[in-house]
């Protein structure tokens, strides 16, 4: 089974100063995802007298699907300035 995902997001972030060391961050944007899924299977046989000899035979068929999705991404959080350009925060 192979799952391949390509994703792009565009989210501008706005800042609002709450105090000298704290600021509120909020963002709202769009995200686009493209998914591709493929699968296959095979039968595995072992020799009855010697387990080291194995034979793999692929089965016909399998599955392959593609899908795309458009979504919305949002975030809000508080950022705290510890020292000059060192920040920490909590975001949702």
Q: Taking the domains of the chain in order of start, what are their residue ranges?
A: 2-91
Over range 46-65, report the average pLDDT: 82
CA distance 59 to 41: 6
Is pLDDT at 92 greater than 70 in this prediction? no
Give percent above pLDDT 90 in the chain: 48
In total, the chain counts a number of residues equal to: 92
- Nearest alpha-carbon partner for 31 in 64, 61, 68, 78: 68
Over range 33-45, report the average pLDDT: 90
> Whole-model pTM above 0.85?
no
Give percent above pLDDT 70 in the chain: 99
């Amino acid at each position: 089974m192979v799952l391949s995902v390509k994703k792009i997001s565009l989210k501008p972030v706005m800042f609002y100063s709450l105090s000298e060391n704290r600021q509120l961050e909020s963002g709202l944007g769009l995200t686009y995802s493209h998914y591709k899924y493929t699968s296959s299977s095979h039968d595995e046989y072992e020799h009855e007298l010697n387990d080291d000899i194995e034979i793999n035979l692929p089965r016909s068929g399998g599955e392959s699907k593609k899908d795309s999705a458009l979504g919305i991404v949002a975030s809000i959080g508080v950022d705290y300035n510890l020292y000059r350009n060192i920040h920490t925060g909590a975001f949702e």
